[in-house]
Amino acid sequence: MLDRLSIKVIRWPLSQCAKVLDKLGIKANQVTLVGFGLGCIALPMLLLQQYSWALVFIALNRIFDGLDGALARRQGITDAGGFLDIALDFVFYSMVPFGFVLANPEVNAIAGAFLIFSFVGTGTSFLAFAIMAGKRGIDNPIYKQKSLYYMSGLTEGTETIACFVLMCLFPAYFAVMAFVFGALCWFTTFTRIYSGFHTLVDSDTKL
């Protein structure tokens, strides 16, 4: 829901950083892999209940995720790069709640499992429609520079990262936040399934 607004805010600084990286000969896929590696360090930090450090590596992962896209738009967007980016993004998103489960399984296990379960719903509905939209050449008027159809919803990347930040700042309330955000994710899933299905039905009638 907030991605279209946050993109406008971060687009200029990311594009300026991308210019520097491009001049240094750094490739977008390299930025993607480094960012994912940094994000993975959040997992042991969460396990050790070093929540401030976990937040640092979560933030670095997201900064690099924005940088790889800005760099790709300068160097040329590719299907391989888009695949690598989205695949590692979804792994990272599920890794964070898993880290909170490892930190305190007695309290966080069910809530963490529910949140990861909800991510399966948002991720599946997102990617399944992107595949069909790509096959039919359906363009997204809002996110034209994405490598695949970016289906919007109530819980997008901005909301997810905001939730992770709050969880790191207030880890004692992880379970409550996980249940609430997971419920919002299921709302996003069902609205995506509904709108995606009807969009494809309308596309079928035009063929």
Tens of pLDDT, residue by residue over 12-24, are 888 899 999 999 9
The helix-helix angle for 174-206 and 79-103 (nearest 10°) equals: 150
Tens of pLDDT, residue by residue over 148-198, are 556 677 888 899 999 999 999 999 999 999 999 999 999 999 999 998 888
Where does residue 9 rank: exposed (0-12), middle (13-18), buried (19+ CB within 10 A)? exposed
Stated pTM of the model: 0.86
Where does residue 178 rank: exposed (0-12), middle (13-18), buried (19+ CB within 10 A)? buried
3-state DSSP assignment of residue 107: helix
Segment holding 160, helix H or strand E:
helix 157-169
Separation between Cα atoms, residue 89 and residue 93, nearest integer Å: 6
Average pLDDT, the chain: 89
Separation between Cα atoms, residue 77 and residue 109, nearest integer Å: 39
**CATH number, domain containing residue 90:** 1.20.120.1760
The domain tally of the chain equals 1
Range of the domain at 151: 3-206
Separation between Cα atoms, residue 191 and residue 187, nearest integer Å: 6
